């Protein structure tokens, strides 16, 4: 697809016609990735402890969710395009970042669950509240928020939590969340079918994966498509009760991580030279102990 076909202020991911994402969202994701990098011991030639990066990323995601959650919970703020772009950035980050890959590997299952539930509650409550704000009109890419890529972002947001399906801390069904969010789109005249993958490859159809994946995955995709059962409106109400925003944000605040050991920030770039030296000396002592055994 030619660059001239891409609207100003947007990018296409994988050159797929449906994969439209805003420059504003990407810019915010880059900021989050910069913060992530500052928390990575490998970037500073350090070993602190195995889960340090996981906890540091959990803290980053938690803080971002609380910040966006405050806006989504506000009647005035939730209908602003800036709030949608922050939520769009959260989808991109959770769908494709080291932080999203490691936060759930920490030993604190309650914290991982709080982040998982926080994301689901944030997005489901957001689309339901936007639907109310659009009345008497239908929810759409122009009402109540003028967001050209609204449909694609919501469909992708609905799928993000499926990547954690089957993990021990997952109690609220990610499939239910996806079905509920897609039903909201469907009943407002938009595409309420599930995406085959988070980010589609070059294709003229939404239900095809990239060419290199088609042979291996086609049978599984057919099974997934046949297994999908859209939620009813009654089910949407039931599912929404399990993903309420206010309790989810309260749990995130309760689970907020303190500063790391010795009162230091999770941001390693903020450590003094003396603190960095201390950690490197500690690592050398540990490795020396291993070598002597």
Cα 202 to chain centroid, rounded: 23
For 51, counting Cβ atoms within 10 Å of its Cβ (0-12 exposed, 13-18 middle, 19+ buried), the class is middle
Q: Which helix (H) or strand (E) holds 170?
A: none
Number of H helices, E strands in the chain: 11, 2
**Closest Cα partner for 125 from 245, 235, 45, 22?**
245
What stretches of 174-240 adopt beta strand conformation (E)? none
What pLDDT does residue 188 have? 98
What pLDDT does residue 215 have? 45
What pairs with residue 280 in β-bridges? none
Residue the block writes with tokens 């769009």: 88
What pairs with residue 22 in β-bridges? 10
Rounded-to-integer distance, Cα 78 and Cα 73, Å: 7
- pLDDT per residue as tens digits for the range 26-58: 999 999 999 999 999 999 999 888 899 999 999
What pLDDT does residue 220 have? 44
What pLDDT does residue 263 have? 83
Regions of the chain short of the pLDDT cut 70: 1-4, 202-226, 289-293
**Closest Cα partner for 200 from 30, 32, 21?**
21
What pLDDT does residue 60 have? 96
Q: CA dist 165 to 52, 159, 169, 173, 281, Å? A: 24, 11, 9, 8, 40
Tokens of 274: 């003396």
What DSSP character marks residue 260?
-
What pLDDT does residue 271 have? 94
What pLDDT does residue 134 have? 98
- pLDDT per residue as tens digits for the range 232-259: 999 999 999 999 999 999 999 998 888 7
What pLDDT does residue 282 have? 85
For 180, counting Cβ atoms within 10 Å of its Cβ (0-12 exposed, 13-18 middle, 19+ buried), the class is buried
Which stretches within the chain are classed as H helix?
Answer: 23-38, 52-72, 81-95, 98-102, 109-134, 150-159, 174-187, 211-227, 233-242, 245-254, 273-292
What pLDDT does residue 216 have? 47
């Amino acid at each position: 697809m030619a660059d001239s076909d891409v609207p100003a202020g947007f990018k296409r991911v994988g050159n797929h016609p449906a994969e439209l994402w805003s420059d504003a969202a990407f810019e915010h994701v880059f900021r989050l990735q910069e913060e992530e990098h500052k928390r990575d011991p490998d970037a500073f030639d350090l070993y602190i402890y195995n889960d340090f990066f996981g906890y540091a990323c959990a803290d980053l995601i938690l803080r971002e969710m609380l910040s966006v959650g405050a806006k989504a919970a506000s009647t005035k703020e939730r209908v602003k395009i800036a709030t949608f772009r922050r939520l769009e950035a959260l989808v991109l980050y959770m769908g494709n970042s080291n932080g999203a890959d490691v936060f759930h590997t920490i030993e604190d299952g309650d914290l991982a669950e709080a982040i998982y539930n926080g994301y689901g509650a944030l997005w489901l409550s957001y689309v339901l509240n936007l639907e109310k704000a659009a009345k008497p009109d239908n929810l759409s890419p122009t009402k109540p928020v003028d967001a050209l890529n609204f449909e694609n972002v919501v469909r992708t947001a609905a799928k993000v939590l499926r990547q954690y399906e089957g993990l021990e801390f997952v109690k609220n069904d990610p499939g239910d969340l996806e079905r509920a969010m897609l039903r909201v789109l469907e009943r407002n005249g938009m595409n309420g079918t599930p995406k085959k993958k988070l980010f589609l490859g070059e294709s003229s159809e939404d239900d095809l994966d990239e060419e290199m994946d088609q042979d291996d995955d086609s049978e599984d995709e057919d099974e997934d498509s046949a297994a999908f059962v859209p939620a009813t409106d009654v089910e949407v109400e039931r599912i929404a009760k399990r993903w309420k925003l206010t309790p989810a944000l309260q749990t995130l605040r309760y689970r907020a991580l303190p500063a790391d050991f010795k009162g230091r920030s999770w941001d390693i770039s903020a450590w003094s030279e003396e603190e960095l030296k201390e950690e490197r000396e500690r690592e050398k002592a540990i490795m020396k102990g291993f070598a002597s055994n």
